[in-house]
Amino acid sequence: MIHLFIQGALISGGLIVAIGAQNAFILRQGLLGQKVFYACTICFICDAALISLGILGVGTVLQKTPFFLNSLAIFGAIFLYWYGFSSFFRAYKRDSHLHIERGKDQQPSRVKLMLATLAITLLNPHVYLDTLVIIGGIGGTLGSEEKRWFLLGSIFASFVWFFGLGYASKKLIPYFESSKTWMVLDTLIGVVMWWIASSLVIFVYQSLQG
């Protein structure tokens, strides 16, 4: 059954590693050193829960409810357009900096950080499409015993990626002591957010046309 573990890890990892809203958020928190553990933990728990639901059969149900997926996509696009605009505005104003030696008062509160992480995770429809529909759809074709191994592999990949990205990003700190580097990152994040939001709008349009 180890091959199913590897298969789950590769499929899940391939979807998660692609640059997206969660990854951009985790990277930024890691670079700023702002409660990285909480951000990584929330992303992982949400991902693991959605992957589990998808593999256990919810994905098949959602594929038959286009109204839910379209509504989710619309709200998600609005949120991602707003988040992208905020990133572009930070890049324009050059408001992002590293506060490595400053006091903890420079950091956001734990509740604010957790709410922001939940928003960037749960208001992004791509998370549901990847975990519930795609991974869930593949897992739904397996038997009960096979699903366990596939599920473990998928969750393992999620754990390794989020915590790896969050803490490995600290090695990039020397490159981000320059405001110009932050300007590039914030611009890139804005482009990614707007690209995802636009793809969601196209998804809804094509769904309604079909």
DSSP calls for 85-121 = HHHHHHHHHT-----TTS-GGGSPPHHHHHHHHHHHH
pLDDT at 21 over 80: no
Q: Which domain holds residue 68?
A: 2-209
Whole-structure pTM value: 0.70
90-142 pLDDT per residue, tens: 888 876 655 444 444 456 688 888 998 999 888 887 788 778 877 777 776 67
Domain total in the chain: 1
151-186 pLDDT per residue, tens: 999 999 999 999 998 998 888 777 767 778 878 878
Q: Let me know: does 55 contact 150? Beta carbons within 8 Å.
A: yes
